[in-house]
Chain A
């Protein structure tokens, strides 16, 4: 019994530590509003402009942006901010009306 407790403590200790430690290769998938190939290029370019983003791939069909980022350098929110700046909305951060209007006419997606 005592041994079991020690083992459990150890496991919890390790996992607690793991939670604190930021992942260098964290995977995230976020929904980004957009509608075309041109949007894809803009969204990925904006994502890559955030330091710590290692891989960014946005799907025209599903509107999902797959990210791998170094959390020691930046957070998902940083990426969302960068996306909003080039006119693309996410759940958390919306683009300003001005930035949205600056998008090419074909990229004027339906805002939620």
Chain B
């Protein structure tokens, strides 16, 4: 910590650049800067979710402290205690949790790791589960249009993950975890200082689930058997005298899943009708470099250059359906930051290059493609250092399939009176939908896939184009002498054109076509600190997501219109010996959800039009024995709520009504876990 303070104070410009390299400047730098200063003053009481009233965009920073509240263990599960993001229940097949923001699924979010797009294209379905939770230093969540610096694809928001920095990391960290759904995890981090200027971290993660569970007796595994090995090597260069900083990351991932019927044995039953089964095997390689320079005597002027190469290779089959995708990707971003006259007027300008080669086979049919784009962006930030700021950004890209197009984005912040902030944002996003990769859970059904359009350049479809607008208001106040705050925000996303996935037509079909849709989202938030160390967070969320399907306008399936969220956290004071208790409880209530159309199935394989409403509760207790050692136990879905029929047609998986994709509630019942963390400082 002391080291950290020194860095913040002595080399402020450089620290700023480090942050700048890692976070879109206008959006979160202040928040993080404020964080580090706050952390210097009172580390113990620093909040685990930080919302700044002076940052222009509607954003919040989740610290690693917040991540410790959830059961585990990867990015997909990190958002369980955060009201802005909805975590879906893992589907009956892959056990992967999907996230949504403003009611839109993760393909409509820009998900970056240290500002380099990470969950994209082929990795869309499982990518979040490829970042272990212990690697994460903080997560920055921005609602709405977002910055133009990273690209044109984001529509409903941005999630940027900062990994642990070698320069700040402790020498050794160990975490092991085990749960009653027989998932075991181990994380080992080792960091050291190589020289005055070079720092190194090795991050190892492995997880496995090796025993078969079928709690709902449908003859199908409730969670896949899994094995993941994830290794990252990270080098950081930091030279405050010269103004140069750099990062070099290498990463290798291997992830294997097997799922389906309990009796399925891949060696015997693959591609037979003996038993239905599926295997999803992924290998991924990442190489990323960053280099940044702060001009001498000009702390406000810098240059950053990022380059990332990744190769993502998934081989999978779902019963008789096969799906293979390999994406080789190159991303490059050159950014220059400076001021106009003075630091009240800042700007960022730069160039982007992206190349994606997809080698993709759906049931043997080659649907591969190569995408490339080159773009230029500029973003202007005005801040009167008092109560008003504005970020106006624009970019122009030339893409081989999307054409030449402009992407404007605007964020405005105004503090009308003390402890209040009013924000507005608007922006456009455009993207090619990887309809198969993003919806691969539908392969585990007897649905036939048909793309109804043929004129477009992406699987016959035209690019998705959407405008997003939002307003938000937050106010801090004292309620009976207790510090509290309220927040309200409303966002609307208008799709001029969307790649619609239609499961409302027939239970035997998955249709894809271009059409229009909208998504309205309203969130009311109330937070209260009863007293020091006892915090309550509550949120009510309303979603209205309408799509013009062939069979009429329906709400988006598997999306609750009303949701309620509450989180209660309590911690005792840390005593002289470092002992501490932490308690955390999360409550989620979901209203009824539109279900895919199953009306034409026989009664046994028919679901109602809407799901019932239900509640899910999670809780965790952590005992810290010293600053080096802590243990935790917790439970998920303590109320043991379970979806009635998790898999349609489970008695006859090769029949016409088989469907594992309709998951609106937990499939697995209660789950308990325990783990420990050991640190050498």
Contact = CB atoms under 8 A, between A and B. Distances in A.
Interface of A: 23, 25, 27, 41, 44-45, 48, 51, 53-56, 68
Interface string B380-391: 000011100000
B297 A44 contact: no
B299 interface: yes
B551 interface: no
B36 to A, nearest CB: 16
Nearest to B341: A54
A56 B344 CA distance: 10
A25 B385 CA distance: 21
B342 interface: yes
B300 interface: yes
A53 B344 CA distance: 10
Contact of A45 (B297, B298, B385): B385
B339 interface: yes
Contacts, number: 31
A27 B297 contact: yes
A70 B298 CA distance: 11
A25 to B, nearest CB: 4
A29 to B, nearest CB: 13
Contact of A55 (B343, B384, B386): B343
A41 B387 CA distance: 10
Contacts of A53: 342
B299 A55 contact: yes
B343 A54 contact: yes
13 contacts: A23-B297, A25-B297, A25-B298, A41-B386, A44-B385, A48-B385, A54-B339, A54-B342, A55-B299, A55-B339, A56-B342, A68-B297, A68-B300
Nearest to A55: B343
Interface residues of B, number: 12
Interface of B: 297-300, 339, 341-344, 384-386
A65 to B, nearest CB: 13
B426 to A, nearest CB: 28
Contacts of A55: 299-300, 339, 342-343
Nearest to B340: A54
Q: Which of A23, A25, A27 has the most CB of B within 10 A?
A: A25
Contacts of A56: 342-343
Contact of A68 (B298, B344, B384, B385): B298
Contact of B342 (A23, A41, A48): A48
Contact of B385 (A23, A41, A51, A54): A41
Q: Which of A25, A51, A54 has the most CB of B within 10 A?
A: A54
Given A23-B297, A53-B342, A68-B300, 4 more contacts: A54-B300, A55-B299, A56-B342, A68-B297
A30 B343 CA distance: 18
A25 B342 CA distance: 11
A23 B296 CA distance: 12
Contacts of A54: 300, 339, 341-343
A100 B299 CA distance: 33
A28 B45 CA distance: 35
Nearest to B297: A25
A27 B298 CA distance: 9
Contacts of B344: 48
Contact of B386 (A27, A45, A51): A45
Nearest to A73: B341
Nearest to A49: B342
Nearest to B298: A25
Contacts of A41: 385-386
A48 B344 CA distance: 8
Q: Which of A45, A51, A55, A56 has the most CB of B within 10 A?
A: A55
Contacts of B298: 25, 68
Q: Which are the 10 A-B pairs with shortest beta-carbon distances?
A: A25-B297, A55-B343, A54-B342, A41-B386, A25-B298, A44-B385, A48-B342, A53-B342, A48-B344, A55-B300
A25 B384 CA distance: 21
Contacts of B386: 41, 45
A44 B385 CA distance: 8
A25 B297 CA distance: 6
A108 to B, nearest CB: 20
A16 to B, nearest CB: 20
A51 B344 CA distance: 13
Contacts of A27: 297
A41 B384 CA distance: 9
A55 B344 CA distance: 8
A51 B342 CA distance: 9
A41 B385 CA distance: 7
B672 to A, nearest CB: 48
